[in-house]
Amino acid sequence: MNWRPYVKMRISPAAAVLVAFAVLPGRDVHAETLRVELVRAASVVLSGAGLRVDGVMMTSGRVVVRADAGHLAVNGAAAATVARVAADGPFNVDDRGVRADVTLRAEGGLVSVVAALDLEDYVAGVTASEMVPSWPLEALKAQAVAARTYALRQKLAVGIDAAVHVQATVIDQVYRGAGAETSSTIAAALTTKGEVLTFGDEPIEAYFHAACGGRTETALAAFGHAQPYLASAVCGADGDAPKAKWTVRISLEEVAARLGMAGLSSVSITSRSETGRVAAVELRAGRSTRRMTAADFRRLVGYDRIFSLGFSVEVVHGELRFTGSGSGHAVGLCQWGARGMARSGHDYRAMLAHYYPGTELRRMY
């Protein structure tokens, strides 16, 4: 699932040419790279054989890098603000495998670790993390196209020359490093190599989620901005999802603590979106009431407690009893729906056309 807030794209002329899929003179469009921030932390551990930081050979196979007063500290010794890492072969950044060029950068008190990945290696890795590698190949291919499209759009939105195009977490797409990919997700990436979903001449905002519960949500209702291709689609193929239907009980006390609203006695739904999802709630504690958006309510109570906004709620014996369907933000590709479509004989093109209506699948290289 991807959670990055909507970014209005400002496409540079060079990027616009890329998006239009024209070949730039002298530019090798076959080598599309993506700069992925693997880690941003106070310290990171590099491990592997023949490690070199900015060309300096490390004497041990384990190196600790910290950020100190605006520059890097490598095994305690002051170094530059930006440093390249190389090794004799694959190496590790904390517990992630890396087979690419890595740049370390001191930013405030944190070390940013960025790998320059081949786009297709990244797509194979993301597909393995964001979907189940044993799922049907056609569903994995739909996920691969969505992941590639999302990444390319993000790259264009932040600028081709930006130090970081995407983060390796749910804010963008989960990437667990080299070695996370499987033969099936590599096949999904390679059999769709270079294919990008477009609307007009832009890569689309390829949002995806676990299970919509029967009907996807519009981007307007979920994120506050409309896209013609992020309309609501009837799904009906995700009934095998573990959270197709769910019931969760949470004590009023726990919800009160999470909301910072002592004495919470009831939660009522005050409005719903056109697809029936909760849009706003009213909370009551004694004589005071508080209104909030359902998205804020779900975030505060926990995404792992309230699985989607498709719920109803009642108070039963001091507990809030939520009865709901689906999991995730429900915008764009429904992963369990794609699995269901694959099992009934549809190919990835049919899935992408269904969940992103009006888009065009184009081959970038």
Note whether 212 binds Zn ion by CB under 5 A.
Answer: yes
Sequence-distant (≥ 6) Cβ neighbours of residue 274 within 8 angstroms: 218, 221, 232
- Residue from 337, 338, 355, 364 that binds Zn ion (CB under 5 A)? 337
**Tokens matching residue 184:** 């099936």
Residue 273 CB, shortest distance to Zn ion, in Å, is: 16
Residue 85 CB, shortest distance to Zn ion, in Å, is: 42
Is residue 253 a contact partner of residue 285, using CB atoms and an 8 Å limit? no
- Residue from 46, 98, 235, 306 that binds Zn ion (CB under 5 A)? 235
**Tokens matching residue 277:** 């999802």
Write out the binding residues for Zn ion, residues 158-187 only, by CB under 5 A. none
Instruction: Pick the closer one to Zn ion by CB: 113 or 353.
Output: 353
CA distance 210 to 130: 9
Stretch that binds Zn ion, among 69-77, 186-194, 220-228, 234-242 (CB under 5 A): 234-242
State the binding string over 316-335 for Zn ion (x if CB under 5 A, else -).
------------------x-
3-state secondary structure of 166: strand
State the binding string over 122-141 for Zn ion (x if CB under 5 A, else -).
--------------------
Going by C-alpha positions, the residue among 293, 291, 283, 248 that lies closest to residue 262 is 283
Dihedral of CA atoms 1, 224, 350, 311 in degrees, nearest 10, equals: 70
Residue 234 CB, shortest distance to Zn ion, in Å, is: 9
Residue 211 CB, shortest distance to Zn ion, in Å, is: 5
Residue 217 CB, shortest distance to Zn ion, in Å, is: 10
Residue 77 CB, shortest distance to Zn ion, in Å, is: 54
Residue 223 CB, shortest distance to Zn ion, in Å, is: 18
Stretch that binds Zn ion, among 6-14, 66-74, 157-165, 238-246 (CB under 5 A): 238-246
Instruction: Pick the closer one to Zn ion by CB: 21 or 303.
Output: 303
Stretch that binds Zn ion, among 72-80, 131-139, 261-269, 337-345 (CB under 5 A): 337-345
How many CA atoms does the CB half-sphere of 238 hold within 13 Å? 30
What is the sign, positive or negative, of the torsion defined by CA atoms of 174, 178, 184, 190?
positive
Number of residues that bind Zn ion (CB under 5 A): 5
Longest dimension (CA), the chain: 70
Instruction: Pick the closer one to Zn ion by CB: 19 or 142.
Output: 142
Stretch that binds Zn ion, among 58-66, 206-214, 316-324, 352-360 (CB under 5 A): 206-214
Instruction: Pick the closer one to Zn ion by CB: 172 or 238.
Output: 238
Is residue 53 a contact partner of residue 104, using CB atoms and an 8 Å limit? yes
Residue 156 CB, shortest distance to Zn ion, in Å, is: 28
CA distance 327 to 333: 12
Is residue 218 a contact partner of residue 232, using CB atoms and an 8 Å limit? yes
Give one DSSP letter per residue of 22-48, joined into a string. Answer: PPPTT--TTS-EEEEEEEEESEEEEES
Q: How many helices (H) and strands (E) does the chain have?
A: 9, 24
User: Which residues are near Zn ion by CB under 5 A?
Assistant: 212, 235, 238, 334, 337
